[in-house]
């Protein structure tokens, strides 16, 4: 009995030894990076971080197909609108426009509709519209009324939506957005009247827009509903809608350049994380928002690297006066308070009317603030990289292999890029991973303070929205916070794992 | 028969007389280091020449300026080191006056250098094959695969077993001796006419030392190049070199063929060095030592830098720097009283 026990122990030990020996033999081969990766594979926390980070990246990459509701918020809904937030798990129907990026309005049992009537449509689309099919531009002649609607679209091919709508039975043209530019030729400020009428004259509605005469070009987004919700398709077909534009109430004409109309479709889905204060699906907004958060933080790091890496290389390699100058610039940047400068920059950006015009003319829509945040984070994030690279190069350039390369006729540029740079890479990877987490938090922080784009959602922005109603609803705060925490934690774990893998002292 | 013995028998330095054509001539080379503590006069008025196919040794204790001399020859001294004066004529052109761009074409292709510590003189992030191939690509403009083939050949040449399999290995997978072989292969891959070997064997153990030197000697014969061997090991000098320069405190104080240096040294320092070598044919209780220590090069002694330690020092030694004079055509000594000393 005794001997069998020792035998078993011996076997166990031998097995262990065999395992460890093979491991060591394999650990010796390959480059520094290969060894580091092999070490990293054993680090469970690091692997978890990598997995979470990958999941977050995948979510951001496939955000468009992962969203269950159109994540962007409707604009111009100031009338007949009351805030509501639905708890997680609520099923809701919605109308998506043909441009999947744009949602017209949700239909829900407690939809604050004036006549209060609602009926679940008996048709549900199996697929959504492609974005490519989204915009329709139709130029209008002066004074000519536009007739469009189900009937018009199907039968005649005249009017606006004829091409794409003609074949699809399931289109529900409940709402439409009209974007138009009005050329006023330097006239006084005026009011534009838009009339909606059914062909048979049973329905009519008027909207007014105030146009500032100083701006010759006007961009307007307004949402109109053409039919009441309880109207059947047959009725809709019988009632094409006529839209006419007039300069005043009496029906004098106005020149309209183009008009854009969206067709809507109905679908029904569950709000997995509930909705936010505005009634938007939180899950979809967070998934879509991960794109902004990641693009901003990664873009900022790329910018930081583009600035910090060459500066660090040059400072570390040439030393002396060059180093002195670069390091003092670094110090100056380190003294600037990031948040105050960013707030200042964004306030200037948003308050400059000329800039607004420029943005409109250049066709840049609303992402300017996000770009500003990205650039700001990049410009305030390079100092650490420069310092790290410089310090690492101070060590590396004293190594004999740098001298050897010079002896063998390599130029300064070649030594810097080919011989020194790969040796800086290992610590750099670690720092970049940590910086990623820092940038996500900084972006969220700025978004939380309100410095973000109105039409783009990001995690920080959702959090800010949520905080407003935290006393009545917990989900708009919890889920964005979870996203931020997960992302930051995963990048930190990843960074920790990489640092352990690259640290020669642990080898 | 051990390798070391074999080398001693095979070497017989004076048997094959090298070509008398001068490959590189160093004239009055002076290099100072401007440090915070003062000016370090590391190399002063050093002149020597290396002939075609010659094995020239520079010997001296640490800090006497051997390495700085070698680096100055290739204009590789970095700030705060400045080459103050002198000429380095390589095939008649002054390397010190060349533009950096032209000089880079000479480094590695015409004049190569290997270092003391093979552990740190290879870049850890590249395979050895890539590192040898890099030199070929840089100087001969070879394509990647061709250069890789040549790298394998070169590795075979320097005696790395299984060169084909090991070409894709990283430096840390090699032993010290093997790494030094790789360094030699790297330095010699473009077939240079001068190899500067800066203490190539100091970091290696004795058997590997012998092997490395053997390889250098073989390749030197094969390619007909010259070698500037820097060492503090008189044994290595005796085994390999044709001619030797002895350095002390930044000066070359004696320069002669190996036989003369070992049998008939004229400078008191060289004499003291020789006396300090343990000899197999004599029984002594205690080896001779030299009183004092190496001069501080920031504040060097006036006149002859050796005079505070010299048993023959007189007043003239403290005032004047002795020039490197020709004693016999093949023997130069920098001592005011070398004639008298030799008579003692």
Q: Determine the Cα–Cα distance for residues A125 and A137; give it in Å rounded to an integer.
A: 25
Please tell me which residue of chain B has the smallest CA distance to A408. Answer: B108
Chain-chain contact of A423 with B74 (C-beta, under 8 angstroms): no
Q: Rounded to two decimals, what is the model's pTM?
A: 0.67
The distance of B257 to chain A (nearest Cα, Å) reads: 28
DSSP label at residue B190: T
A62-121 confidence digits (pLDDT tens): 987 887 776 544 433 322 344 567 788 877 655 454 443 333 333 333 332 333 333 333
Q: Determine the Cα–Cα distance for residues B253 and B37; give it in Å rounded to an integer.
A: 26
Of B177, B188, B328, B166, the closest CA to residue B260 belongs to B328
Nearest-by-Cβ selection for A399 from B116, B120, B135: B120
B84-124 confidence digits (pLDDT tens): 888 899 888 888 888 888 888 888 888 998 888 888 888 88
Nearest-by-Cβ selection for B125 from A320, A411, A422: A422
Joined tokens for residue A282: 């939180």
Joined tokens for residue A120: 């679940």
Chain B residues with CB under 8 Å of A408 CB are: 107-108, 112-113, 134-135, 138, 186-187
Edge-to-edge strand list for the sheet holding A175-182 = A220-225, A175-182, A256-260
| Per-residue buried b or exposed e for A360-388, using 16+ beta carbons within 10 Å of the residue's own CB | eeeeeeeebbbebbbbbbbbbbbbbbbbb
Contact status, residue B86 vs residue B250, Cβ threshold 8 Å: no
Please tell me which residue of chain A has the smallest CA distance to B171. Answer: A31
Q: Determine the Cα–Cα distance for residues B268 and B212; give it in Å rounded to an integer.
A: 32
Chain-chain contact of A32 with B115 (C-beta, under 8 angstroms): no
Q: Per-residue pLDDT averaged across A375-394, rounded?
A: 91
Q: Name beta bridge partners: A97.
A: A264
Q: Determine the Cα–Cα distance for residues A246 and A208; give it in Å rounded to an integer.
A: 10
Q: Determine the Cα–Cα distance for residues A158 and A144; give it in Å rounded to an integer.
A: 13
**Which runs of E-coded beta strand occur in A199-350?**
204-211, 220-225, 241-246, 256-260, 264-270
The distance of B109 to chain A (nearest Cα, Å) reads: 7
* Complex prediction ipTM: 0.78
Chain A residues with CB under 8 Å of B90 CB are: none
Q: Does A324 touch chain B (CB under 8 A)?
A: no
Q: Is pLDDT at A34 greater than 80 in this prediction?
A: no
The distance of B165 to chain A (nearest Cα, Å) reads: 13
Nearest-by-Cβ selection for B104 from A320, A409, A422: A409
> Do you know the residue count of chain A?
507
- Give A74-82's long-range contacts (Cβ < 8 A, gap of 24+): A74/A102, A74/A103, A74/A104, A74/A105, A74/A223, A75/A221, A75/A223, A75/A455, A76/A221, A76/A222, A76/A223, A77/A105, A77/A223, A80/A112, A80/A113, A80/A114, A81/A112, A82/A112
Chain-chain contact of B170 with A30 (C-beta, under 8 angstroms): yes
Chain A residues with CB under 8 Å of B169 CB are: 29
Q: Is pLDDT at B139 greater than 50 in this prediction?
A: yes
The distance of B193 to chain A (nearest Cα, Å) reads: 13
Confidence at A365, pLDDT banded by 50, 70, 90: low
Contact status, residue B334 vs residue B325, Cβ threshold 8 Å: yes
Q: Determine the Cα–Cα distance for residues A265 and A51; give it in Å rounded to an integer.
A: 37
Nearest-by-Cβ selection for B138 from A31, A409, A422: A409
B143-177 confidence digits (pLDDT tens): 888 999 999 998 988 888 888 888 888 888 888 88
Q: Determine the Cα–Cα distance for residues B77 and B80; give it in Å rounded to an integer.
A: 8
Contacts of A426 (CB under 8 A, 6+ apart): A32, A33, A36, A502
Three-state DSSP state, A62: coil
Q: Is pLDDT at A343 greater than 60 in this prediction?
A: yes
């Amino acid at each position: 009995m005794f001997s069998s026990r020792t035998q078993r122990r011996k076997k166990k030990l031998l097995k262990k030894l065999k395992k460890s020996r093979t491991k060591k033999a394999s650990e010796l081969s390959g480059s520094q990076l290969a060894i580091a990766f092999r070490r990293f594979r054993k680090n469970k926390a690091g692997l978890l971080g990598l997995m979470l980070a990958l999941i977050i990246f995948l979510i951001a990459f496939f955000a468009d197909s992962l969203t269950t509701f159109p994540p962007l918020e409707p604009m111009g809904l100031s009338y007949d609108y009351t805030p509501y937030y639905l708890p997680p798990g609520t099923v809701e129907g919605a109308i998506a426009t043909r441009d999947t990026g744009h949602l017209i309005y949700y239909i829900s049992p407690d939809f604050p509709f004036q006549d209060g009537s609602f009926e679940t449509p008996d048709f549900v689309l199996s697929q959504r519209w492609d974005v490519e099919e989204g915009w329709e531009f139709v130029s209008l002649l002066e004074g000519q009324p536009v007739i469009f609607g189900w009937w018009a679209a199907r039968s005649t091919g005249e009017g606006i939506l004829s091409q794409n709508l003609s074949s699809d039975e399931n289109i529900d043209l409940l709402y439409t957005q009209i974007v138009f530019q009005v050329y006023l030729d330097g006239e006084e400020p005026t009011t534009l009247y838009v009339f909606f009428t059914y062909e048979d004259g049973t329905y009519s509605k008027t909207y007014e827009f105030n146009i500032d005469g100083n701006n010759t070009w006007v961009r307007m987004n307004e949402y109109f509903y053409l039919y009441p919700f309880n109207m059947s398709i047959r009725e809709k077909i019988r009632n094409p809608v006529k839209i006419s534009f007039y300069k005043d109430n009496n029906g004098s004409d106005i020149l309209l350049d183009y008009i854009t109309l969206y067709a809507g479709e109905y679908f029904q889905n569950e709000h997995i994380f509930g909705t936010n204060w505005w009634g938007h699906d939180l899950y979809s907004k967070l998934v879509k928002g991960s794109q902004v958060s990641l693009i901003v933080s990664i873009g900022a790091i790329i910018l930081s690297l583009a600035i910090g890496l060459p500066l660090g290389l040059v400072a570390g390699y040439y030393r002396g006066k060059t180093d002195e100058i670069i390091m003092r610039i670094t110090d100056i940047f380190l003294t600037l308070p990031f948040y105050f400068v960013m707030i200042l920059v964004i306030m200037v950006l948003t308050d400059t009317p000329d800039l607004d015009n420029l943005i409109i003319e250049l066709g840049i829509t609303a992402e300017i603030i996000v770009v500003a945040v990205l650039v700001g984070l990049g410009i305030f994030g390079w100092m650490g990289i420069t310092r790290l690279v410089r310090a690492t190069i101070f060590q590396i350039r004293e190594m004999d292999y740098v001298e050897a390369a010079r002896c063998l006729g390599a130029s300064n540029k070649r030594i810097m890029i080919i011989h020194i740079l790969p040796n800086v890479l290992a610590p750099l990877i670690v720092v970049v991973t940590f910086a990623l987490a820092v940038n996500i938090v900084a972006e969220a922080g700025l978004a939380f303070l309100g410095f973000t784009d109105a039409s783009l959602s990001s995690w920080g922005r959702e959090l800010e929205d949520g905080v407003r109603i935290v006393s009545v609803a917990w989900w708009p705060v919890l889920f964005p916070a979870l996203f931020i925490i997960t992302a930051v934690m995963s990048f930190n774990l990843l960074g920790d794992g990489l640092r352990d893998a690259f640290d020669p002292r642990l080898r | 028969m051990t390798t070391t013995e074999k080398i001693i028998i095979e070497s017989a330095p004076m048997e094959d007389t090298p070509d008398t054509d001068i490959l590189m001539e160093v004239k009055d080379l002076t290099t100072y280091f401007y440090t915070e503590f003062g000016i370090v006069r590391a190399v002063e008025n050093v002149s020597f020449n290396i002939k075609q196919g010659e094995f020239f040794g520079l010997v001296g204790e640490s800090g006497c300026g051997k390495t700085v001399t070698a680096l100055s020859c290739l204009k590789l001294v970095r700030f705060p080191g400045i080459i103050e004066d002198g000429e380095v004529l390589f095939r008649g052109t002054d390397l010190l006056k060349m533009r950096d761009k032209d000089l880079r074409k000479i480094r590695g292709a015409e004049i190569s250098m290997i270092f003391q510590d093979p552990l740190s003189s290879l870049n850890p992030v590249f395979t050895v094959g890539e590192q040898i191939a890099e030199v070929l690509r840089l100087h001969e403009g070879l394509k990647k695969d061709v250069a890789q083939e040549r790298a394998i050949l070169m590795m075979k040449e320097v005696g790395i077993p299984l060169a084909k399999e090991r070409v894709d290995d990283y430096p840390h997978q090699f032993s010290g001796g093997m790494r030094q072989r790789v360094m030699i292969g790297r330095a010699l891959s473009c077939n240079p006419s001068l190899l500067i070997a800066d203490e190539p064997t100091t970091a290696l153990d004795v058997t590997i030392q012998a092997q490395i030197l053997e390889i250098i000697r073989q390749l030197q014969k094969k390619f007909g190049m010259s070698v500037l061997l820097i060492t503090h090991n008189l044994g290595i000098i005796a085994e390999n070199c044709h001619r030797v320069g002895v350095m002390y405190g930044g000066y070359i104080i004696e320069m002669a063929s190996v036989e003369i240096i070992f049998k008939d040294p004229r400078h008191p320092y060289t004499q003291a060095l020789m006396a300090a070598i343990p000899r197999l044919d004599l029984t002594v209780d205690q080896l001779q030592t030299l009183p004092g220590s190496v001069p501080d090069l920031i504040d060097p002694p006036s006149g002859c830098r050796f005079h505070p330690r010299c048993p023959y020092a007189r007043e003239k030694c403290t005032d004047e720097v002795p020039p490197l004079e020709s004693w016999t055509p093949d023997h130069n000594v920098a001592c005011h009283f070398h004639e008298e000393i030799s008579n003692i």
